[in-house]
Amino acid sequence: MNSTTLAPSQLEQLKKLTTVVADTGDFERMQEFQPQDATTNPSLILKAAQQPNYQSLVNAVKAAHPGLNPTELVDYILVAFGMEILKIVPGRVSTEVDARLSFDTKATVAKAKHLIALYESHGVDRKRILIKLAATWEGIAAAKELESDGIHCNMTLLFSLVQAAACGAANAKLISPFVGRITDWYKVKLGSNWSDATHGGANDPGVTSVKRIFHYYKHFGIPTEIMGASFRNTTQILELAGCDLLTISPELLSELSTGFTAVTKKLDTANAQAALSAENIIPLKLDEPSFRLQLNNDAMATEKLAEGIRNFCIDTEKLETLLGK
């Protein structure tokens, strides 16, 4: 049985409702799914750089820049993978700034401009690049400055409405609210009280978080794009059909490409007004003290943001070690 004898695959149906993005540094696997955009992060690039089929790329970058130390080489590796990805996707690639700069606005801006300069030195239009920044107060401030210079940003490690609202106020091009990591936190928190029947599907806490952000943005006319990220299963993905974009791992893209049940639009701009009224959402206060207090009072968002930054820092250091060998 194949898609010619059945209804279109879930992936084909989803592409008609949402822009599908590949969440991987493995550009060879992207080709089979034909995504519009692609996203990378330090963990994904580390994983790809350790694969035998990418050793020639890594070695070529090292050979071309013999005088650089491993920290400096990382930027060139990120751009090299990004360049290969842009040969496959017609849209944009997201390249992440060193997570160790997540609390330094000035250094983040400088690193972002360096990455853009590297891409532009290869003739790539900056419109095809999204610079990924952690959605800390400092990262959001950096995004505001970069966007004013025509450098578009993808705000990542985003777990709360206040982070999303602040990114919108900074005119960030795109946000990546994390779904699976939110769900992970609540599963641990609830322990034996977690029930897939009660807490899954439309009630999945990661799914409801993105829905709330979607309703807030559409109600208040915020043009920042919303890209659901960090999925654990296809149910989470399909519950967000209609979101501006969804970035999906090759494993889940493969699963969607072999599923043929009907996909329905779950998020709709036209319904945002009614949804907001039901959720009683009002504009959030977004000055620095208010932002920090609201984020601090959200234990899940605070913990997952800190954990995400730590893990990206660890994987960046592992990548530097790999390049130093």
Q: What is the DSSP string of 154-217?
A: EEEEE-SHHHHHHHHHTT-SEEEEBSHHHHHHHHHHHGGG--HHHHSGGG-HHHHHHHHHHHHH
Are 46 and 318 spatial neighbours (Cβ–Cβ below 8 Å)?
yes
Q: Percentage of the chain with pLDDT > 70?
A: 97
Distance CA 151, CA 52 (A): 33
**According to the model, what pLDDT value does residue 270 have?**
83
Tens digit of pLDDT for each residue in 141-175?
A: 999 999 999 999 999 999 999 999 999 999 999 99
How would residue 189 be classed by pLDDT, with cut points 50, 70 and 90?
very high
Quick one: average pLDDT of 107-125?
98
**According to the model, what pLDDT value does residue 98 have?**
97
Helices assigned H by DSSP within 50-102: 55-64, 70-86
Domain-located, residue 200: yes
3-state helix, strand and coil shares in percent for the chain, rounded to the nearest 5: 60, 10, 30
- Is the confidence at residue 271, as pLDDT, over 90? no
Domain-located, residue 2: no
How would residue 269 be classed by pLDDT, with cut points 50, 70 and 90?
confident
Tens digit of pLDDT for each residue in 214-256?
A: 999 998 999 999 999 999 999 999 999 999 999 999 999 999 9
* Residue of 99, 136, 134 lying closest to 315 (CA atoms): 99
Quick one: average pLDDT of 185-204?
96
Tens digit of pLDDT for each residue in 27-66?
A: 888 989 999 999 999 999 999 999 999 999 999 999 999 9
**According to the model, what pLDDT value does residue 1 have?**
46
**According to the model, what pLDDT value does residue 5 have?**
56
Q: Percentage of the chain with pLDDT > 90?
A: 91
Domain hosting residue 32, numbered range: 10-324
Domain-located, residue 29: yes
Domain count, the chain: 1
Quick one: average pLDDT of 111-132?
98
How would residue 3 be classed by pLDDT, with cut points 50, 70 and 90?
very low
Which position among 15, 132, 173, 218 bears the catalytic label? 132
Quick one: average pLDDT of 108-130?
98
Quick one: average pLDDT of 185-208?
96
Domain-located, residue 198: yes
Domain-located, residue 1: no
Domain-located, residue 217: yes
Residue 127 has which token pair?
A: 């419109």
Tell me whether residue 15 is one of the annotated catalytic residues: no
**According to the model, what pLDDT value does residue 175 have?**
98
Identify any residues that bridge with 129 across adjacent strands, giving them in sequence order: 93
- Report the CATH number at residue 144: 3.20.20.70
Domain-located, residue 4: no
- Is the confidence at residue 276, as pLDDT, over 80? no
**According to the model, what pLDDT value does residue 6 have?**
65
